[in-house]
A and B are shown apart, each in its own frame.
Chain A
Amino acid sequence: MIKLERLTKRYGKLTAVDHLDLHIPRGELFGFLGPNGAGKTTTLRMIAGILRPSEGRVWIGGDDLMQEPMSAKQRLGFIPDRPYVYEKLTGAEFLRFVAGLYGQDGDMVERRIEELLELFELTAWKNELVEAYSHGMRQKLIISSALIHRPECIVVDEPMVGLDPKGARLLKDIFREFVDRGGTVLMSTHTLEVAEAVCDRIAIIQAGQVIASGSMAELREHAASGSASLEELFLKLTGGVAERELARVLEG
């Protein structure tokens, strides 16, 4: 469903994403992990069509994002890490506007708006301007907007930030249900428990390159770590277990 071919992004001398190859088939929830600045967000933004790759190609459901951007984007729902939305629109108006961007309108869209707002417990806020929404509510609104046109795959950057435990649980359930029905989810996250619990496969990216990828069992095998948790694997693979004199830092 999502295929990356030697995907590269350079900013001057810095190579943020370095010849990345990845294939995520239909019906899979794929986790994208990596330390800060590893190139996760850049990769996701290239898949969403927001950034132009310096090299390589992105395929979404058989459509080349560069050659056929309209049909490729029609299949995609993108959820960014920072929930910037039009402050002076109400929640319902924002969703109606997003549906319009995908060429949808009419009663079907109105019903879908009601359905999504109900699901994310935003019905009481539907006629209130977004400027009065909390961070978590904005995040829920953006997730609703990514689902409004019934996409085939969802690309999501740090979905749990700002969500309360109930919202986080709901999102996990939605993603699982979505892939069980044949959808595809590519999710970047720092919450390793979430990745471990819901992802079918995981890729760990560092300095713009995939350093390990596979199911949890395959990752353990790769790192030669018997029954290690994802956190331990992550730290081992990314070299994050540096000795720190915690006591000195905390006690001054």
Chain B
Amino acid sequence: MRRALAHILWPKWQTARVRVRQQRRAGSTRVLVIAGVGMLFWFGVFGVVYRILQYFRGIEEIGPLLAGKLLGLVLLAFLSILLLSNVITALSSFFLAKDLDILVAAPVDWLHFYLGKLGETLLHSSWMVGLMAVPIFAAYGVSYGGGWLFVPLILVLFVPLLIIPAVLGSAVTLVLVNVFPARRTRDLLSVIAIGAAGLLVLMLRIVRPEQLMRPEGFRNLLDFITLLRTPTSPFLPSEWTTNGIMSLLVGSFDVQPVVLLWTTVGAFLVFGAMLHAWLYPRGFTRGQEGAERFVKGWIWQTVLAPIVRPLAVSKREFIIKDLKLFFRDPTQWSQLILLAVLVVIYLFNIRALPLFTGERVPFFLVTVISFLNLGLAGFVLASIAARFIFPSISLEGRQMWLLRSSPLDLRALLWSKYWTGTLPLLVLALIITVLTNILLQVSPFMMWVSVATIVLLTLAISALALGFGAVFPQFDTENAAQIPTSYGGLVFMMTTIALLAAVIVVEAVPVSGYVRASFRGEPIAIDAHMIGAFALAAAICIVATVVPLRVGLNRMEEFEF
């Protein structure tokens, strides 16, 4: 059985090896940058969790309870993410993957097929959570002196937490595909998953978890301890893993969670395999059905045509095409739900700042927060540009034969892509900045500085996303959501952060002059320093707009297919 299973998984393993080899050949800088950022992230997470745990250790009696509660919350979040991601991944690996025709036609035993595909689903959907868990567990191990047995026991306690959602997620997908066609299920799932994730994040923020850290908010200490002792739910595997780990770190190791976890894994595997044997053949057949959809294109033509009429034909058709592709693909437009959640949370956080609770907040603090908010808003815009603008060139990959063989001027293509991405980003940037400034009640001077800066920054961020997207294209990737996580996406984010830092540092000179003058009650002096600094910031943004677009265009001229 093991040999047969290994045989099914061998092509995947071989593909992964070749990919690693190709990455290595691509140059050591790439490997170093990825490794460097990865290590930085790991150390960052480790540092934060370690500090929190050290703080908890300082609190007598309830310290371990707090640490357990925190771990329980983290593992519960992992479990939810894993369940969602397994449902979506299972759809690809069990029903839409390109190797399915060969595997289903070959005399492969159904159980080997199920276990092979389950393993593939598990790996694809869990690797990120696995990597994220390493520094967190390391922080717990170091803080509480876990010893050498900690590492193998963590594996024994954590691996079931990956297997259970994989089995459950695959089962949910199997049932769904038997109800809807596979392609329709994918659309449906992406919307549900994004909606659920958005709602989860929104709920977590709105319940204001930071209040849990303030015991003074409870009537008495006993209430607080009672709350901490209550398990989130005794039937959740994440709770069993938490109990197992905390018993290992504080007190004596309890075997019961291990037994519970692994017997559940066994039961789930049996249940999953039986369900697979029963429903998969019918589901796979249904999965072959195409999504039959007639589209009423006239709506687009009526709404968009008058707006884009003054443009040249090629630009006009490109913009209409890009918008249609975006809004007809639920995996794309559903991301807007997350975006809306992000904006609400952003504004909620500004509103929740303890600025207007008591006495009047110093003018200085409001100005500094509003100024630094530019950097934060810029970062949010960069993340959105990475998701929506960065992949836009890569997504043309398969159709590049058409674009390159036609007399289309690539400048027209770049122009259309730039403005289709930039205009919505600009609207969002202005909403975030203006609303934040209104909430903070900033002065008209700061309002103008913020608005002008964010407009220039948005133009530059958009150009950088498009430019880097052309320099590091991912023509093989069909899923737009995977493209920003590539090496090019990383380089784009790092460059954008450098741009944000440069602009903020340059503008800090006139803004600090303004704060000083206001503090002394003097009028704002518009001197050479102020004009020079703002001109320099504008020049940086203009260069960051023009150069990436030029480089991107040159790179596109060299594309070969």
Binding site for B on A (CB under 8 A): 45, 48-52, 69-71, 73-74, 76, 78, 80, 84-86, 88-90, 92-93, 96-105, 127-129, 131-132, 145
**Contact partners of B293 in chain A: CB under 8 A:** 128-129, 132
| Whole-angstrom CA separation of A92 from B301 in the bound complex | 12
Are A73 and B329 interface neighbours, CB within 8 A? no
Contact segment of B120-128, B148-156, B231-239, B314-322: B314-322
| Whole-angstrom CA separation of A129 from B321 in the bound complex | 13
**Contact partners of A132 in chain B: CB under 8 A:** 290-293
| Whole-angstrom CA separation of A48 from B560 in the bound complex | 11
Q: Which 3 A-B pairs have the closest CB atoms?
A: A100-B317, A101-B406, A78-B405
Are B313 and A86 interface neighbours, CB within 8 A? no
Please name the residue on chain B nearest to A88 by beta carbon: B328
Are A97 and B405 interface neighbours, CB within 8 A? no
Other contacts beyond A105-B316, A132-B292: 16, CB < 8 A: A50-B401, A73-B406, A78-B401, A78-B402, A86-B321, A88-B325, A90-B295, A90-B297, A93-B321, A96-B317, A97-B320, A101-B408, A127-B294, A127-B295, A127-B297, A131-B291
**Contact partners of B320 in chain A: CB under 8 A:** 97
Question: Taking each of B324, B328, B401, B560, which has the highest tally of chain A beta carbons within 10 Å of its own beta carbon?
Answer: B401
**Contact partners of A45 in chain B: CB under 8 A:** 401, 561
> Within 8 Å of chain A (Cβ to Cβ): is B24?
no
**Contact partners of B292 in chain A: CB under 8 A:** 128, 132
Given A97-B321, A100-B318, A105-B313, A48-B401 contact (CB < 8 Å): yes
**Contact partners of B328 in chain A: CB under 8 A:** 88, 129
**Contact partners of A100 in chain B: CB under 8 A:** 313-314, 316-318
Q: Which of B295, B324, B398, B405 contacts A50 (CB 8 A)?
A: B405
Q: List 20 A-B contacts (CB under 8 A).
A: A49-B405, A50-B400, A50-B560, A52-B558, A85-B402, A86-B325, A88-B329, A96-B317, A97-B317, A97-B320, A101-B314, A102-B406, A103-B313, A105-B317, A128-B293, A129-B293, A129-B328, A131-B290, A132-B291, A132-B293
Q: Which of B291, B294, B316, B406 contacts A98 (CB 8 A)?
A: B406
Are A129 and B295 interface neighbours, CB within 8 A? yes
**Contact partners of B357 in chain A: CB under 8 A:** none
Question: Taking each of B290, B291, B405, which has the highest tally of chain A beta carbons within 10 Å of its own beta carbon?
Answer: B405
A149–chain B nearest beta-carbon distance, Å: 8
Scan B299-335; emit 1 where CB is below 8 A from any A CB, else 0. Answer: 0000000000000111011101100110011000000
| Whole-angstrom CA separation of A190 from B393 in the bound complex | 33
| Whole-angstrom CA separation of A103 from B183 in the bound complex | 35
A101–chain B nearest beta-carbon distance, Å: 4
**Contact partners of A93 in chain B: CB under 8 A:** 295, 297, 321, 324
B47–chain A nearest beta-carbon distance, Å: 45
| Whole-angstrom CA separation of A85 from B321 in the bound complex | 12
**Contact partners of A48 in chain B: CB under 8 A:** 401, 404-405
| Whole-angstrom CA separation of A105 from B309 in the bound complex | 11
Are A101 and B294 interface neighbours, CB within 8 A? no
Please name the residue on chain B nearest to A47 by beta carbon: B405
A151–chain B nearest beta-carbon distance, Å: 10
Please name the residue on chain B nearest to A48 by beta carbon: B405
Band of interface residues on B: 35 or more
B285–chain A nearest beta-carbon distance, Å: 17
Q: Report the tally of A-B residue pairs with Cβ distances under 8 A.
A: 102
> Within 8 Å of chain A (Cβ to Cβ): is B407?
yes
| Whole-angstrom CA separation of A21 from B398 in the bound complex | 30
> Within 8 Å of chain A (Cβ to Cβ): is B296?
yes
Please name the residue on chain B nearest to A78 by beta carbon: B405
B304–chain A nearest beta-carbon distance, Å: 12
Given A45-B561, A101-B314, A127-B296, A89-B401 contact (CB < 8 Å): no
Given A89-B321, A132-B291, A73-B402 contact (CB < 8 Å): no
Scan B383-426; emit 1 where CB is below 8 A from any A CB, else 0. Answer: 00000000000000011111111111100000000000000000
A97–chain B nearest beta-carbon distance, Å: 5
Interface of A is mostly: mixed
| Whole-angstrom CA separation of A86 from B325 in the bound complex | 8
**Contact partners of A74 in chain B: CB under 8 A:** 407
| Whole-angstrom CA separation of A96 from B298 in the bound complex | 13
Please name the residue on chain B nearest to A46 by beta carbon: B560
| Whole-angstrom CA separation of A47 from B111 in the bound complex | 51
Are A131 and B183 interface neighbours, CB within 8 A? yes
**Contact partners of B290 in chain A: CB under 8 A:** 131-132
B154–chain A nearest beta-carbon distance, Å: 44
| Whole-angstrom CA separation of A69 from B407 in the bound complex | 7
Are B407 and A50 interface neighbours, CB within 8 A? no
B163–chain A nearest beta-carbon distance, Å: 34
| Whole-angstrom CA separation of A127 from B295 in the bound complex | 6
B175–chain A nearest beta-carbon distance, Å: 24
Scan B535-561; emit 1 where CB is below 8 A from any A CB, else 0. Answer: 000000000000000000000001011
**Contact partners of B405 in chain A: CB under 8 A:** 48-50, 73, 76, 78
| Whole-angstrom CA separation of A45 from B404 in the bound complex | 10
| Whole-angstrom CA separation of A232 from B417 in the bound complex | 52
**Contact partners of A70 in chain B: CB under 8 A:** 407, 409
Please name the residue on chain A nearest to B560 by beta carbon: A51
**Contact partners of A80 in chain B: CB under 8 A:** 401
| Whole-angstrom CA separation of A97 from B406 in the bound complex | 11
**Contact partners of B560 in chain A: CB under 8 A:** 50-52
Q: Which of B291, B312, B408, B409 contacts A129 (CB 8 A)?
A: B291
**Contact partners of B295 in chain A: CB under 8 A:** 90, 93, 127-129
**Contact partners of A127 in chain B: CB under 8 A:** 294-297
Please name the residue on chain B nearest to A74 by beta carbon: B407
**Contact partners of B312 in chain A: CB under 8 A:** 103
Please name the residue on chain B nearest to A93 by beta carbon: B297
**Contact partners of A69 in chain B: CB under 8 A:** 407
**Contact partners of A86 in chain B: CB under 8 A:** 321, 325, 399
Given A73-B405, A131-B291, A51-B561 contact (CB < 8 Å): yes
**Contact partners of B313 in chain A: CB under 8 A:** 100, 103-105
Q: Which of A51, A89, A103, A128 contacts B407 (CB 8 A)?
A: A103
Are B402 and A49 interface neighbours, CB within 8 A? no
Given A128-B294, A129-B295, A84-B398 contact (CB < 8 Å): yes
**Contact partners of B558 in chain A: CB under 8 A:** 52
| Whole-angstrom CA separation of A50 from B397 in the bound complex | 12
| Whole-angstrom CA separation of A76 from B408 in the bound complex | 13
Please name the residue on chain A nearest to B395 by beta carbon: A86
8 Å CB contacts to A: which residues of B484-505? Answer: none
Question: Taking each of A49, A85, A101, A129, which has the highest tally of chain B beta carbons within 10 Å of its own beta carbon?
Answer: A101
**Contact partners of A89 in chain B: CB under 8 A:** 321, 324-325
Are A84 and B404 interface neighbours, CB within 8 A? no
**Contact partners of B401 in chain A: CB under 8 A:** 45, 48, 50, 78, 80, 84
Q: Which of A90, A98, A128, A129 contacts B402 (CB 8 A)?
A: A98
Q: Which of A84, A88, A103 contacts B314 (CB 8 A)?
A: A103
Given A90-B295, A92-B297, A132-B293, A50-B404 contact (CB < 8 Å): yes
Please name the residue on chain B nearest to A125 by beta carbon: B294
A121–chain B nearest beta-carbon distance, Å: 17
**Contact partners of B314 in chain A: CB under 8 A:** 100-101, 103
